[in-house]
A and B are shown apart, each in its own frame.
Chain A
Amino acid sequence: MVRLLTHNLLACHVKGCTSNNFPLQFQNVQIELREADFNADFLKNFLPKLEWKALVDSAKDLGDTSLPLEQPEMLDDEFLKNLHHVLLEIHVEEGSMTCPNCKHSYPISNGIPNMLLAEHEIG
């Protein structure tokens, strides 16, 4: 169920692939929407760790355009609700994530991303 929160933290880690290796591009995805408990503190704690543009673009790829292009200064309720939905309620169940740089593709199956590398891909 790769959620966008997780997706925002994962970069390609193939040996030598160190630039333009994030964000991974979703492909052939199957999505499920599932409600999660709203927790404003959690969101606020996490905000500084997010790569905003990657989040907005990836949400758009999955059909959600509720987030502003620039991270707002004021965290009002509506913004937090949208952020909550994007980060935690969109689940990618099947498909894959491809590195924009080396094109390595990480499969997602039953909601579990497989980020394992083969022995010739590790540093």
Chain B
Amino acid sequence: MSKYLVVFAQAHQEFRVPELESVAQLYNFKISLSDEPEERDPSRPFMIIELESENHVRLLAKRCILIKSIYEFYGRGSTYEVLHLRNRAKRHMWERYIPETSFKFIVAAYNHKIPQHRQKEVVESFAYMGFMGKIDMKTPEITLGCFEEYATRNGQTRERHEGDGDFLQVYFGRLIEEGTARPLVQLFDVKKRSYFGNTSMEAEISLLMANQTLACSGKLIYDPFMGTGSMAYPVAYFGAQVMGSDIDGRQMRGKQTTPGVFRAASQYGVASRIIDICTFDVTNNPWRCGGLFDAIVTDPPYGVRAGAKRLGRKKELDADRLALYHEHRTNPRPDDSPYIPPTRPYELSDLAVDLVLLARYLLKPGGRLVFFLPTVTDQYEEVDIYTMLCDGMEVIANSLQDFGSWGRRLVTIRKVTSELYPPPDFSIRDSEAQDETQRVPAHRHFREKYFQGFKKAEEVEAENLSHLP
């Protein structure tokens, strides 16, 4: 295996390693990361990884949303002396470029700006490499990158070039590939989409979710809470076919004749890969059998924007409803008029358990469930994730997107069994009557906690008391 230097975008840092591992699995190659916590510290934009071939570098650069570029790694050091010593030792890696290869040098820093004159000094300090080819800033045959990494200076004011040279590490290598997946974040920008709504998922996260599904040509991927279809587009863009459903047809359709999801999909040239979108309550679903999908990707409702609902438990219809119902039956119209079945709330922790059971039924063996679980930062514990697991389903990634007092976790679960399981019965649990010894996950009653601004129980009580006359 050879070492490569990856330069990451400093965004969604917890998603970085899961994304690398997913893409490696998708293309079936080995990737080795250091076990040292310092070496995989997500707050640092540089990481050294090991791969078996340059071809694998290119695959990562093509699919990973968080990768800015990847370099063949020549060396690093806490000073230039150390760096140069190590780089000289790697002569066999770069000597073939000495005689006549045209080249360009990039000197850059993270958390700092290196003054022009010192950039020049840095380039000159590599003179011992003795490259004889011409310097070509536009179309060089190779690009050499030298990166200084500085500690963050969040909140500190300072002079422009203050602390120049006080870097933690300096890295050096040869550019192999610029990340070409990152520009997809612009392509899928929600604001430029012909159909979106207030539940739409931001482009970068949708793309990261798509990578967690291992989407590629030949696969079938399902979103049971499809809404405006944000995840369907990147998944289809990566070649997979998509099936979607939602309890509320209006979310998928919008107001024009051509349903919104198809309009948006056309914009990305993937309309033919959206196999179908159907209106139904996922807790009363019409799937004929299980084992259908390679992945399920979804942002389940948690009652903050789009309420978690399921069809009501009232069994008898009153006269008015029955009349409406019959009118609808004899004269079917789009599902927003005139008959809309009543719904009732669906507790998030119940929904999460049901979703995992449903995924175990609907996924093929080895398939993945990728979904967001909103949770309360102060109360969250890792075991919360395990409260929703069942036999045959294993958590393989769990990455936090932090919003302060709350956050949402992108959870990736793999179906590790090829046993056949029955569909879940979605029975209504009496969520209050629970075994007292069991941990109550932080995401339980998320909706209520959200609207109370995540106050502690005592605070809420105090507030209630203060309303008393």
A85-123 vs B, CB cutoff 8 Å, 1 = contact: the mask equals 000100000001000000001010111111111111011
**Known contacts A9-B289, A13-B284; A42/B333 CB under 8 A:** no
**Known contacts A41-B217, A116-B281, A120-B315; A9/B249 CB under 8 A:** no
CB-CB under 8 A from A1, the residues of chain B are 262, 276
Are B259 and A119 closer than 8 Å at their CB atoms?
Answer: no
CB-CB under 8 A from A111, the residues of chain B are 259, 262, 276
Are B259 and A105 closer than 8 Å at their CB atoms?
Answer: no
Identity of the chain A residue whose Cβ is nearest the Cβ of B316 in the assembled complex: A120
Are A6 and B243 closer than 8 Å at their CB atoms?
Answer: yes
Interface size on A, residues (CB 8 A): 41
Identity of the chain A residue whose Cβ is nearest the Cβ of B271 in the assembled complex: A34
- Kindly state whether residue B161 has any CB partner on chain A within 8 Å: no
Are A123 and B284 closer than 8 Å at their CB atoms?
Answer: yes
Assembly CA distance A109 to B332 (angstroms): 9
Across the interface, B287 reaches (CB within 8 A) one of A3, A10, A88, namely A10
CB-CB under 8 A from B313, the residues of chain A are 119
Identity of the chain A residue whose Cβ is nearest the Cβ of B287 in the assembled complex: A9
Interface size on B, residues (CB 8 A): 48
CB-CB under 8 A from A96, the residues of chain B are 332
Assembly CA distance A10 to B339 (angstroms): 22
Are B253 and A110 closer than 8 Å at their CB atoms?
Answer: yes
- Kindly state whether residue B25 has any CB partner on chain A within 8 Å: no
Assembly CA distance A22 to B287 (angstroms): 11
**Known contacts A112-B252, A113-B276, A115-B278; A42/B218 CB under 8 A:** yes
Across the interface, B259 reaches (CB within 8 A) one of A51, A107, A112, A115, namely A112
Which chain B residues numbered 264 to 322 have a C-beta less than 8 Å away from chain A? Answer: 272-273, 275-281, 284-289, 291-292, 311-317
- Within the complex, the shortest CB–CB distance from A33 to chain B, in Å, comes to 12
Are A6 and B276 closer than 8 Å at their CB atoms?
Answer: yes
Identity of the chain B residue whose Cβ is nearest the Cβ of A24 in the assembled complex: B286
Are A49 and B277 closer than 8 Å at their CB atoms?
Answer: no
Assembly CA distance A39 to B273 (angstroms): 11
**Known contacts A5-B275, A9-B287; A110/B334 CB under 8 A:** yes
**Known contacts A109-B333, A112-B252, A113-B276; A11/B286 CB under 8 A:** yes
- Kindly state whether residue B373 has any CB partner on chain A within 8 Å: no
Are B275 and A117 closer than 8 Å at their CB atoms?
Answer: no
Assembly CA distance A5 to B241 (angstroms): 12
CB-CB under 8 A from B133, the residues of chain A are none
**Residue of A3, A36, A105, A114 with most chain B CB atoms under a 10 A cut-off:** A114
Are B220 and A35 closer than 8 Å at their CB atoms?
Answer: no
- Kindly state whether residue A37 has any CB partner on chain B within 8 Å: yes
**Known contacts A39-B217, A49-B292; A120/B317 CB under 8 A:** yes
Identity of the chain A residue whose Cβ is nearest the Cβ of B249 in the assembled complex: A112
Assembly CA distance A1 to B259 (angstroms): 10
Are B314 and A114 closer than 8 Å at their CB atoms?
Answer: no
- Within the complex, the shortest CB–CB distance from A106 to chain B, in Å, comes to 8
Assembly CA distance A57 to B37 (angstroms): 60
Are B276 and A49 closer than 8 Å at their CB atoms?
Answer: no
> What are the nearest 5 A-B pairs in CB distance?
A107-B332, A41-B218, A115-B280, A6-B276, A11-B288
- A contacts, CB < 8 Å to B: 1-3, 5-6, 8-13, 22, 34-37, 39, 41-42, 45-46, 49, 51, 88, 96, 105, 107, 109-120, 122-123
